[in-house]
Amino acid sequence: MKQPLTIEEENIIQQQYKLLLEHCHRCNDPSEKALIEKAFKIAYEAHKNMRRRSGEPYIMHPLAVARIVSEDIGLGVKAIVSALLHDVVEDTDITLEEIAHLFDPKIASIIDGLTKIRELFDERSSLQAENFKKMLMTLSDDVRVILIKLADRLHNMRTLDSMPRDKQIKIASETIYLYAPLAHRLGLYSIKTELEDLSLKYRYPEKYHEIEQKLAETAQQRDEFIAQFIKPIQESLNKQGIHAEISGRLKSIYSIWNKIQTKHVTFEEIYDLFAIRIVFDPLPDIPEKAQCWNVYSIVTDIYTPKPDRIRDWISTPKTNGYEALHVTVMSQQGSWVEVQIRSRRMDEIAERGYAAHWKYKSPDSHESELDKWLRRLRELLSDPNSNALEFIDDFKLNLFSSEIHVFTPKGELKTLPKDSTVLDFAYEIHTEIGNKAIGAKVNHRLVPLNYKLSSGDQVEIITSDKNRVQREWLDIVITAKAKTAIKNTLKSDIRNRIEKGQMILENKLKELDLKPSSRIFQKLLPAYGVSNKEELYSKIGSDLITLDELPKILRKNAKNKWVRYWEITLGLSKADSDNGNQETDTEKYTPKSPFILKENPDEKTVSYTIASCCNPIPGDDVIGYRNVFNSIVIHKSKCPTAVKLLSSQSERIVPTRWTTHKLFSFLTKIAITGIDRFGIFNQITTVITKELNINIRTIHLSAHDGIFEGEIEIYVHNINDVNRLVTNLTKIKGVMKANRVENFEE
């Protein structure tokens, strides 16, 4: 879209550019500001009269990205220049060679990385696994590419209103599945939080605005409480000469929604809607760690701490570089409040992440946990043979996981995700150690490879040169490094077996004066019950198939059941091989129209199945996933599997719509809790079966200490049945809560 700029728009652009320069804290030298001005003028002229889908001048986008890069992430001049120019090579006639000549090769290299990403994935297309892997590969060259891309994604999310609804959902799903976790791992807390909130806003707008409104309604009461809580702490800090800023930080809308979903509580039942943050200016010549504990002592002199809710991330920072001391204390009003204690340096690292981490890093400092994570990521990316979808799964595993700290026999500290096993630890030490591991001694006690480690464990791996990697190990490990190493070893073994089998088969055919051909494989594959050449070679190489019957099989012309199986599997017939793929009578699905979930589909309708991971029922917000057999699998739109599919295989996603279902029943689960009394169990079953005429599949209710809780699996026709049941159950005297269990598996 092209349209000349108005005078008002010109003024707004100049105002935004002025703000960029004013808030550029790392642009002290006049030559640096001159470089930014040069980049702005080039971008301004290159994008002149160009407009975004929203209608705003296109130059506003690179300006906004540059401000995020500078103000929110804290990067320097080269990154700001790259952000201003990040779209010119893609959208205009300016070349990378011209950028290198006008600025320097490093800026051209960063823009090249961003341009390659743009070619592979922009707001007009959904994220694919291979593209995301290629994007992460730029970490090996310059992490600023990823940081600028996160800024680009943040501004696109801020301006997502102009996109069609289906694009909004796809982009928001990509964001929550990969971008928010990536921002978290790089320590960009504020960006991660905003990406999560914006993703929720576009995926579930009603839920977002409902929580937003409730937060607004309770704001005055909350502000009064925070002011009253802070006052004695501030006075005590002032007396001791400690200069500190104390504020109440509200929990994000996404984290509130997530807690409501996972804990099955209401908004009113969430007590930790905010945390108190103390950011102090450290005194010289006194270790920051000691000063943090001094502030902790001041706080706990005023308020009683909760012993099991102290978190010390000063002694052992998080993998993303986060350092702080957290303590939960009892307020004067009788409610628990979390207090976070940080120095000014710690606060900047917590908010700005990677860039601030490097700002404070000295040349002789040890490798940080963030450095180690980036190094492990580069190791994962260095494998040219890894499957992209598998890579994304493994990468995602270690993005948001909590961490434990374990020790080698010599006392070296290793950081691993929570629930890591002995085998994960072995691969963390070295791939060969993992491949040869047969067990371990944890705290001098013999344990198996699947033993789960805890923080503080000391681990000694026991190995054997005769040991071989087992496929079952993939179910034991959780770290991306271990999974990748195991898969690579297994693939190597398979390749060796395939090569051996291929050689055996070719030699056997040579004895019969034959060469491998498609005609020969059409006879061999069904005869040996395998689906492809690789499987045939592998089984021959593993001695699972002998070729004694080979001459007899090749002479056989009649089709047996395996031949028919093979044709059905591939959708082949003789006509296919002669004339190409045959047309079937199956109704064709066109992606532009919704797939209708009929109760009684006819033979010509594409079949569909209900996903067992989330068990949607009529009335639920759902999506369809077209699998390799052209069948549609129906998931709830908020099912984790659905979010993953939207992010990695969006071309297979099918918009769906329910029709009225009156005959068939769908399985769902209700969680129920309440005050135990005589006859309440009987009353619950009566309401379900007699009053509402709903069939119960299973019911598990147990009572202890005057409280009962349990789960009921029932068959319903649609979401209205569930809502009616929940309403009627909560009317029973003693029933405190009844709610549908989301994403349960049969």
- Active centre residues (catalytic): 90-91
- Strand partners of residue 609: 633
Written in H, E and C, the secondary structure of 288-310 is: HHHHHHHHHHHHHHHCEEEEEEE
DSSP 45: H
Residue 140 makes CB contacts below 8 A (sequence gap 6+) with 378, 381, 382
Strand ranges (E), 132-196: none
Backbone angles phi, psi at 693, to 5 degrees: 55, 45
Given a contact cutoff of 8 angstroms between Cβ atoms, the answer to whether 602 and 564 are in contact is: no
* Strand duo 336-343 + 274-280: pairing: parallel
Cα-based torsion angle of the residue sequence 672, 674, 677, 683 in order, rounded to the nearest 10 degrees: -40
Paired tokens of 104: 């320097």
Paired tokens of 440: 């371990």
DSSP run (H or E) holding 660: none
CA dist 107 and 112 (Å) reads 8
- Strand partners of residue 343: 280
CA dist 604 and 161 (Å) reads 39
Written in H, E and C, the secondary structure of 490-513 is: HHHHHHHHHHHHHHHHHHHHHHCC
- Burial of 278-289, coded b for 16+ CB within 10 Å and e otherwise, reads bbbebeeeeebe
| Among the listed residues 83, 70, 145, the one whose alpha carbon sits nearest the alpha carbon of residue 356 | 70
Residue type, 552: K
Residue 165 makes CB contacts below 8 A (sequence gap 6+) with none
Cβ count near 361 (within 10 Å): 15
CA dist 431 and 208 (Å) reads 45
The residue written with tokens 């760690």 in the block is 289
Written in H, E and C, the secondary structure of 217-269 is: HCHHHHHHHHHHHHHHHHHHHHHCCCCEEEEEEECCHHHHHHHHHHHCCCHHH
CA dist 474 and 487 (Å) reads 8
> Rounded to whole angstroms, what are the CA distances from 376 to 54, 142, 357, 371, 480?
40, 15, 18, 9, 9
Given a contact cutoff of 8 angstroms between Cβ atoms, the answer to whether 440 and 425 are in contact is: yes
Residue type, 150: L
CA dist 404 and 417 (Å) reads 6
Q: Where are the alpha helices (DSSP H) in 512-616?
A: 518-528, 533-541, 550-555, 561-570, 574-579
